[in-house]
Amino acid sequence: MTASGRPPNQLLQMLDAADFALLQPHLSTVAMARATILGEQGARQKQVYFPHDGAVSMTVSLAEGQTIAVALLGRDSVIGGGAALADGLALTDTTVLFPCTAAVLDLAVFRNAADASARFHRMVARHEQALLAHVQQSLLCNTLHPVEARLSRWLLRARDLCDRAALPLTQELLAEMIGVRRNAVSIVAHTLQQTGIIRYSRGQIEIIDAEALAAMSCECHDTVKMQYERLLMTGP
């Protein structure tokens, strides 16, 4: 809990007292290991999650088995909120990328709160709009930008969510996040390490020079950050 007595999720922190009171009696806190599945594409979403820390990867898959990450979510997000406002079915897979804790409540409780409070409903809608902008930017980035820029962008987003330079990332995970083969990630990671921007060891990447990494990144990192701030940090 933070000094306000609320979980350290930015959306829960932003709620006014009346709206938070709709959720508070039903919230529980869970710790989740890496690879914990929070939602499956096409399946019914049963719970809604407000991450406190860590990171959750949102991915889409083709029937042939190819998978690509379209968003990286954390303490500035709610997972399952869009499904709660619609038909209850998840549009993507959501999986814990970095171990985290989250406030959790049943989807029905979340939906009832959105029905009861127009202000809360607007905040969720604004979050879903910010998430859509995130997904759209990711797809554009993966289509048009070089591997170096895409990898740098995802590392910066992970650092923003976790507030730490050392990230528990493997090359396999990075390859899935940016939609390339592992050897492409290996080449870029080696270059970034040789220039002193990151330090890579098995299963961990440490960002040494965040400014240089930002210079390597494309505009997409700042664009997504601006959209979140515009839609969410100004209040519902």
Domain around 71: 10-117
Please report whether residue 108 resides in a domain: yes
Query: Across the beta sheet with 93-98, what order do the strands follow?
Result: 37-39, 93-98, 55-61, 67-73
Last residue of a domain, one of 100, 117, 134: 117
Q: Tell me how many domains the chain contains.
A: 2
pLDDT digits (tens, 9 = 90+) for 50-97: 999 999 999 988 777 777 889 999 999 999 999 999 999 999 999 999
pLDDT, residue 177, reads: 80
Are residues 151 and 112 part of one domain?
Answer: no
pLDDT, residue 147, reads: 92
Q: CA 118 to CA 129: how far, in whole Å?
A: 16
CATH code (residue 213): 1.10.10.10
Q: Are 177 and 69 in contact (CB under 8 A)?
A: yes
Residue 61's alpha-carbon distances to 40, 66, 92, 182, 200, in angstroms, are 10, 6, 8, 18, 28
CATH code (residue 24): 2.60.120.10
Are residues 87 and 50 part of one domain?
Answer: yes
Please report whether residue 134 resides in a domain: no
pLDDT digits (tens, 9 = 90+) for 154-185: 999 999 998 888 998 888 888 888 888 889 99
Are residues 83 and 148 part of one domain?
Answer: no
Bridge partners for 39 per DSSP = 94
pLDDT digits (tens, 9 = 90+) for 129-159: 999 999 999 988 988 999 999 999 999 999 9
Q: Is pLDDT of 120 > 80?
A: yes
Are residues 101 and 66 part of one domain?
Answer: yes
Are residues 111 and 33 part of one domain?
Answer: yes
Please report whether residue 195 resides in a domain: yes
Last residue of a domain, one of 117, 133, 165: 117
pLDDT, residue 78, reads: 96
Q: Are 96 and 74 in contact (CB under 8 A)?
A: no
Last residue of a domain, one of 82, 117, 152: 117
Q: Is pLDDT of 1 > 80?
A: no
Please report whether residue 180 resides in a domain: yes
Are residues 86 and 14 part of one domain?
Answer: yes
Are residues 150 and 81 part of one domain?
Answer: no
Q: Is pLDDT of 233 > 80?
A: no
pLDDT, residue 41, reads: 92
Please report whether residue 130 resides in a domain: no
Q: Is pLDDT of 2 > 70?
A: no
pLDDT, residue 4, reads: 67
b/e per residue, 95-112, with b = 16+ CB within 10 A? Answer: bbbbebbbbbbebebbbe
Token couple for 41: 């594409």
pLDDT, residue 201, reads: 85
Q: CA 102 to CA 11: how far, in whole Å?
A: 12
Bridge partners for 119 per DSSP = none
Q: CA 108 to CA 202: how far, in whole Å?
A: 42
pTM (two decimals):
0.91
pLDDT digits (tens, 9 = 90+) for 6-51: 999 999 999 999 999 999 999 999 999 999 999 999 999 999 999 9
Are residues 147 and 73 part of one domain?
Answer: no
Please report whether residue 229 resides in a domain: no
Please report whether residue 135 resides in a domain: no
Please report whether residue 51 resides in a domain: yes
Q: CA 45 to CA 82: how far, in whole Å?
A: 10
Q: CA 18 to CA 139: how far, in whole Å?
A: 38
